[in-house]
């Protein structure tokens, strides 16, 4: 109950709590520091911007805490942001649904369990009220997650081997060399800027970017 109040009134909620420290802030509601775990509303933000994120290879590769699908005897796969967005967008059964508390949409971020015992669960958040959601393990739904991760293509393709030199005649080389010698005298040497690092952003960075985009009316 106290947690719900905190979520509804994140900025002003601390004033009347007479110095009592919250036991743990699981929803990452603390300001100023990087939240360890995204909130349900953060997942709503991600879902609203699914098309934008899915069109960017590095955004698809973003790691999401608690996002994995594990099926005993089948395998365990880490789910990246792109995998989750595709599962939610496609309406894959067992990966999103209607929140019992508020009627909003909840999203499932992972599954773990055993097809033999049926034990295990799926977990996620409501994108509206932020409530944590836990649903029973379902073999088919969890396997869908393992498959989604298996079908993912890496953002960076492996290094392409250098193309073999084209066969050419000596006359052609001489011609080219003559052209180069002429132009080299005229054009100043170009200094190439250092290659930008192709880093996968953190989920926190993506969320900050999306908030700025929505604030600027770009989304
Ligand atoms: Zn809800």
User: Do the domain assignments include residue 133?
Assistant: yes
pLDDT on residue 7: 38
Percentage of the chain exceeding pLDDT 90: 53
pLDDT per position as a tens digit, 120-146: 999 999 999 999 999 999 999 999 998
Enclosing domain of residue 118: 34-154+205-214
Ligand 1 centroid to 195 CA: how many Å?
A: 45
- Give the phi and the psi of residue 33 in degrees, each rounded to 5: -105, 160
Q: Is the pTM of this model over 0.75?
A: no
Pull the structure tokens for residue 89.
């967008």
Beta bridge partners of 46: none
Ligand 1 centroid to 92 CA: how many Å?
A: 19
pLDDT per position as a tens digit, 143-175: 999 888 888 765 544 455 555 556 567 777 778
User: Do the domain assignments include residue 83?
Assistant: yes
Torsion, Cα 27 135 41 70, to 10 degrees, reads 80
User: Do the domain assignments include residue 50?
Assistant: yes
User: Do the domain assignments include residue 170?
Assistant: no
Residue 4 · residue 39 · CB < 8 Å = no
Q: Could you give the number of structural domains in the chain?
A: 1
pLDDT per position as a tens digit, 50-59: 999 999 999 9
Ligand 1 centroid to 141 CA: how many Å?
A: 21
pLDDT on residue 211: 96
Ligand 1 centroid to 89 CA: how many Å?
A: 18
User: Do the domain assignments include residue 189?
Assistant: no
Say if residue 217's pLDDT is above 70.
yes
Mean pLDDT, rounded, of the chain? 79
Ligand 1 centroid to 41 CA: how many Å?
A: 10
Ligand 1 centroid to 132 CA: how many Å?
A: 8
Say if residue 30's pLDDT is above 80.
no
């Amino acid at each position: 109950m106290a947690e719900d109040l905190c979520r509804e009134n994140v900025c002003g909620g601390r004033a009347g709590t007479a110095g009592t420290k919250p036991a743990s802030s699981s929803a990452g509601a603390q300001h100023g520091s990087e939240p360890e775990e995204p909130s349900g509303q953060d997942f709503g933000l991600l879902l609203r911007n699914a098309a934008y994120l899915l069109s960017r290879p590095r955004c698809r590769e973003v790691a999401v805490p608690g996002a994995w699908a594990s099926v005993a005897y089948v395998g365990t796969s880490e789910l990246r942001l792109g995998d989750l967005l595709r599962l939610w967008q496609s309406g894959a059964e067992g990966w999103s649904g209607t929140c019992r508390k508020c009627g909003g949409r909840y999203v499932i971020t992972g599954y773990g369990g055993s097809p033999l015992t049926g034990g295990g669960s799926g977990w996620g958040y409501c994108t509206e009220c932020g409530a944590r959601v836990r649903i029973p393990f379902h073999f088919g739904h969890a396997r869908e997650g393992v498959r989604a991760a298996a079908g993912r293509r890496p953002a960076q393709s492996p290094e392409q081997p250098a193309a073999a030199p084209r066969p050419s005649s000596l006359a052609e080389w001489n011609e080219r060399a003559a052209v180069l010698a002429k132009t080299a005298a005229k054009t100043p040497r170009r200094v190439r800027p250092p290659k930008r690092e192709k880093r996968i952003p953190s989920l926190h960075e993506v969320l900050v970017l999306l908030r700025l985009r929505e604030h600027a009316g770009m989304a």
